Chain A
Amino acid sequence: MSLALLFQYLVAGITYGTIYAIVAIGFNIIYNATGIINFAQGEFVMLGGMIGVTLRALLPMPVAIAGAVIATMLVGALIEMLFIRWLRRPSVLRLIIITIGLSIAIRELALLLWGEGVRALPYFTGTAVTSLSVGDVHISPQVLWVLGISAVMVAALNFFFARTLLGRQMRACACNREAAQLCGISAKNMVTLSFVLSAGIGALAGCVISPITYVQYDSGSSLALKGFTVAILGGLGNSMAAVAAGLLLGTLESFSIWVMPAAYKDVIAISILLLILFVRPSGLFGNAEAARLKDY
C-alpha cells in the first residue's frame, strides 16, 4: 500500500464524512430547540436537491439553490405548524411516529411529483471528471465545495446561537422552556423557527451534495440514517462535534472498504453507533455530566 493510496482512501473518507456531517447538522438544530429527532430530516435533503434541480432548468444555479432552500424552509414551517405545533404535551413515542409518517408521506409525494428517475445539479466547478491532483492523490472540487459550505454553515450557526437575540432565545427555550416563556419568549415560534432553519440547512446540503450523490425520491432515508449516526456519535445537539464525528465515521468506512467487502460498510457504521449508544450515549464529544440530566 503506497502512501498515495493511503491518502486516496483518506480523501474518500473525507468525502463521505462531510456528506454525513452536513446532514447531521440539520438534526441537531431541531433537537436543540425541541428535543425531537426529526425522522423526516433526510426528506428535507431530498426535497432541496429535487427542487434545486427543477428550478435549475429555468434559473441560473445560485438562484435555483436559493429558491430550493427557501421553498424547503416553507415546507419545514408548514410541517411544524400542521403536524407538531398544536399537539398538547405529545409523548416521545408519538413524535417519533409522527415524523416517521411524515417522512413516508413526503417520499411518496416526491415519487408522484418527480417519478422514479435520478437527477443531479451540475458540478459547481469543472465537470464530473475534473479533479485536483497532488501527486497521485486526486480530489473532486465538489468535495471542497461541500467542505467549505459545511464550514461556513457551522460558523454561521455558532454566530447565530451565540450572538444574535433570536439565537439566544432559541437556546433559552431549549434550556428551560417555562423560564423562557416567563421572559416573554414564544416557545412555539422558536420551535417553528428550528424546523425552518433545519429544513433550509437540509435543502442546502441536498443541493451541494447532489452532483456527487445524485438525488432520487427515496434518497432521503439512507442519508438520514447516516446523519443520525453521526449526530449521535458526536453527541446530540453539538454541530462542531457532528463535523468531527462525520469525518471520523467517513474515514473509518473508507478504510473498512480497504480490508473488507464494501457490502458490509453500513453494517460497520451502524455497529459503531450501537456500541456508542450502549457505552457512552452522550456521544464521543458530548459532556457525560450534562447528558445525565437528559432522558435517554
Chain B
Amino acid sequence: MGRRRNLPIVALAMAVIAVQLLTAAAGKPQYLTQLTMAGYYSLVIVGLTLLMGYTGQISLGHAGFFAIGGYTSGLLTTYNLHPLIGQIPVSILQACGLLVSGKDLYGADLLVVRPWAACVVALLVTIGIAYLVGKPVLKLKGHYLAMATLGFGTIVYKVVLGSSLVGAADGISDIPAFPLFAGLVVTGKSALRAQNYYVAWGLVLGAMALLTNLIRSRVGRALRAIHGAEDAANAMGVDTGRYKLQMFVLSAALAALGGVFLTHYNGGIGPSEASVMKSVRYVAIVAVGGMANLWGALFMGVLLNFLSLRGSFGSYDDAVFGLILLAIMLFAPDGLLRAEFARRLPGLRRGQKAAP
C-alpha cells in the first residue's frame, strides 16, 4: 500500500531530474530560471487546490498570503539594525545569533536578521494572520466568502503599496541570498541555477507528498464530506469549522513559503505580487487544473506560469488568463484534465506527465 501510494511522488521526482537533464542536454539550462520561479508559485497553487477543490472554499486573496511571507522575510533581511546596536532588544537578538552583519552596496555597515530566522518569522506571521482572518471569514459562504477574501487581498495590497517602510510602489530591492544548509543557497546567481531548481522542486515534492497523503487520510474524507454537503457533514459529527480553518491556514502557510523563497531567489519583491489580479490567476489555474485535482493544478500551474514568465503571451497576459477562466468554467467546469478519472487512479498518469 505504502509503496503504491508514493509512486506518483517518486515519478514526479524522476520527472524533475529528467527535465533538468533534458534542459542541460538541449543546451537550454536557462529554462530552469522560469521553472524555478514557477515551482515556487506552484506551492501557492497546490495549497489553494486543497482549499478550493477539496474543501470547497473559494479564496480571492491568496496572493495576499504570498506577499505577507515574501515581504516579511524581505523586510527583516534588509532592515538595517546597525544604528540600533547597543539597545537591549538588538543585543538580545545578537546574542541569540539571529542577526548577521555585512556591508551594503555603498560600503556602509549593515546588521540584519538572518534569513533563516526571517523565514520562520514570516511563516509564523502568515499563520497567525491566516488564523485570525480565517476564523470569521470561513463562516461565510458563496458570494460573501468571495467578497471577504477579495477584501482581505485588497487590504494587503493597499497596505504594502501605501507603506514607505516596505518601499511603497517600488517594493523591496537588494534582498540577500538565503543560505539553507550544506552549501545550498537560494539566490538568482546564474552559476547556481541548477542547484536552485532542485531547491524549489524539492519543496514542491515535499508539499505534494504532504497533500496527497492528507487527502487520502481521514481528514481528506472529512473534507470531501464538507465539499459535498456541509450541513450533512456537520450532522454526522464532522467538526466542519475546524477542518476548514486548518486547511485555510495550511494553504496560507504554503503560499507564504513560496513567497519567502521566491523573494530571496529574485532578490526583491514588489506590490504586484499582492495584487488582486495575481489572486485571480491562482484561482484560474486551480480551475483549469480541475478544481479537485492536485496533479492537474500542478501541471497547469507550471505550464501557464512558465509561459507567462517567459513573456510568451506578450501584452495579452491578463487577457489569456481571463479567457482561460471563462472557457474552462463554461465548457469544462471539472477542468481540462478530467478530475474524476484522476481521482480514481491516484495521480498515476498525471504523475508521469505532470512534471514541468
Interface string of A220-235 (1 = CB under 8 A from B): 0100010011001000
Cβ of B102 within 8 Å of any chain A Cβ, yes or no, is no
B136 near A278: Cβ-Cβ < 8 Å: yes
CB distance from B288 to the nearest CB of A (A): 11
A101 near B155: Cβ-Cβ < 8 Å: no
B146 near A266: Cβ-Cβ < 8 Å: no
Cβ of B218 within 8 Å of any chain A Cβ, yes or no, is no
A273 near B151: Cβ-Cβ < 8 Å: yes
Cβ of B162 within 8 Å of any chain A Cβ, yes or no, is yes
Cβ of A248 within 8 Å of any chain B Cβ, yes or no, is no
State in angstroms the CA–CA spacing of A100 and B330 once bound together. 12
* Stretch with Cβ within 8 A of A (4 or more), from B26-34, B108-116, B315-323: B315-323
Which residues, 63 to 90 on A, are CB-close (under 8 Å) to B? Answer: 83, 87
Which residues, 205 to 227 on A, are CB-close (under 8 Å) to B? Answer: 221, 225
Cβ of B154 within 8 Å of any chain A Cβ, yes or no, is yes
Task: Tell me whether chain A's interface is mostly helix, strand or loop, or mixed.
Answer: helix
B162 near A97: Cβ-Cβ < 8 Å: no
Known: A97-B329, A98-B330. Contact between A92 and B147, CB under 8 A? no
Which one, B152, B161, B283, B323, contacts A97 given CB within 8 A?
B283
Query: Given known contacts A92-B142, A101-B324, A107-B322, what 7 new A-B pairs fall within 8 Å (CB)?
Result: A97-B325, A100-B322, A101-B329, A104-B323, A108-B322, A225-B150, A277-B137
Which one, B142, B146, B151, B287, contacts A270 given CB within 8 A?
B151
> For residue B280, which residues in chain A have a CB less than 8 angstroms away from its CB?
100, 104
- CB within 8 Å of A: which residues of B? 52, 56, 58, 60, 136-137, 139-144, 146-148, 150-152, 154-155, 158-159, 161-162, 276-277, 280, 283-284, 287, 316, 318-319, 321-326, 329-330, 333
State in angstroms the CA–CA spacing of A278 and B133 once bound together. 10
CB distance from B246 to the nearest CB of A (A): 20
A296 near B144: Cβ-Cβ < 8 Å: yes
A261 near B162: Cβ-Cβ < 8 Å: yes
B144 near A281: Cβ-Cβ < 8 Å: yes
Across the interface, name the chain B residue whose C-beta is closest to A236: B143
> For residue B142, which residues in chain A have a CB less than 8 angstroms away from its CB?
92-93, 96, 295-296
A96 near B143: Cβ-Cβ < 8 Å: yes
State in angstroms the CA–CA spacing of A19 and B296 once bound together. 43
B333 near A94: Cβ-Cβ < 8 Å: yes
A296 near B162: Cβ-Cβ < 8 Å: no
Q: List 15 A-B contacts (CB under 8 A).
A: A36-B143, A91-B333, A92-B143, A96-B143, A100-B325, A101-B325, A229-B151, A263-B158, A266-B155, A267-B155, A267-B159, A270-B151, A270-B154, A274-B148, A295-B142
A-B contact count (CB 8 A): 116
Cβ of A173 within 8 Å of any chain B Cβ, yes or no, is no
A104 near B318: Cβ-Cβ < 8 Å: yes
Interface string of A267-280 (1 = CB under 8 A from B): 10011011001100
Across the interface, name the chain B residue whose C-beta is closest to A278: B136
Task: Tell me whether chain B's interface is mostly helix, strand or loop, or mixed.
Answer: helix
CB distance from A290 to the nearest CB of B (A): 15
> For residue A281, which residues in chain B have a CB less than 8 angstroms away from its CB?
140, 144
CB distance from A265 to the nearest CB of B (A): 9
> For residue B283, which residues in chain A have a CB less than 8 angstroms away from its CB?
97, 100
State in angstroms the CA–CA spacing of A228 and B162 once bound together. 22
B322 near A105: Cβ-Cβ < 8 Å: yes
Across the interface, name the chain A residue whose C-beta is closest to B57: A93
B326 near A101: Cβ-Cβ < 8 Å: yes
B144 near A225: Cβ-Cβ < 8 Å: no
> For residue A295, which residues in chain B have a CB less than 8 angstroms away from its CB?
141-142
State in angstroms the CA–CA spacing of A261 and B143 once bound together. 31
CB distance from A269 to the nearest CB of B (A): 9
B158 near A104: Cβ-Cβ < 8 Å: no
Cβ of A264 within 8 Å of any chain B Cβ, yes or no, is yes
A274 near B158: Cβ-Cβ < 8 Å: no
> For residue A185, which residues in chain B have a CB less than 8 angstroms away from its CB?
none
A266 near B144: Cβ-Cβ < 8 Å: no
Interface string of A149-181 (1 = CB under 8 A from B): 000000000000000000000000000000000
Which one, A87, A92, A101, A261, contacts B323 given CB within 8 A?
A101
- Give the most central of B150, B152, B161, B287: most A CB within 10 Å: B150
B154 near A264: Cβ-Cβ < 8 Å: no
State in angstroms the CA–CA spacing of A94 and B324 once bound together. 13
State in angstroms the CA–CA spacing of A261 and B147 once bound together. 25
State in angstroms the CA–CA spacing of A94 and B328 once bound together. 10
